[in-house]
Amino acid sequence: MVFNEEKKAVDWIFRYGNEALATLEKLPLDKMIGNSFSSLFSNMDAKWLHVYERATLYGETLEIMDYSPEIDTNLKIICFPTFPGHCGCILFNADQMKSISEENHLVRLAAVALKSNPTI
């Protein structure tokens, strides 16, 4: 994280990423690593900073689901503290995620069981 004199987060620098992140961010990984978010995305939305700041400064693990105008994608982000001055984030394209409740899972299991053994 990059902080100003008042200890407020103003930016962050990509220190690690993988190809899945590069695909989601729509940038080559080698262009992201070592560079600040604001230098790559001039339309940076400060809402991300508040979550990352809380994980970094207060040790909170947080989840945010919101639209990213920077990459025109709905995101689910899990952000967690790593070591002083840093946080880790796992990003997902929210539109590509599937959710299954335990009830739906049990119904599907029963259907599979009945299909494979109709005498049940």
By the 8 A CB rule, do 22 and 28 touch?
A: yes
Which two three-digit tokens encode residue 83? 């070591």
Confidence of residue 101 (pLDDT cuts 50, 70, 90): low
Mean pLDDT of 77-90: 94
pLDDT in the model for residue 44: 86
Residue with more model confidence, 85 or 22:
22
Between CA 28 and CA 120 the distance in angstroms is: 53
Collapsed DSSP state (helix, strand, coil) of residue 23: helix
Would you say residue 103 has pLDDT above 70?
no
pLDDT, one tens digit per residue, over 106-119 is 777 777 777 877 66
**Which of 86-90, 100-104, 107-111 is least confident?**
100-104
Between CA 4 and CA 6 the distance in angstroms is: 5
Between CA 68 and CA 43 the distance in angstroms is: 10
By the 8 A CB rule, do 19 and 10 touch?
A: no
Between CA 85 and CA 89 the distance in angstroms is: 14
pLDDT, one tens digit per residue, over 13-59 is 999 999 999 999 999 999 999 999 999 998 888 888 899 999 999 99
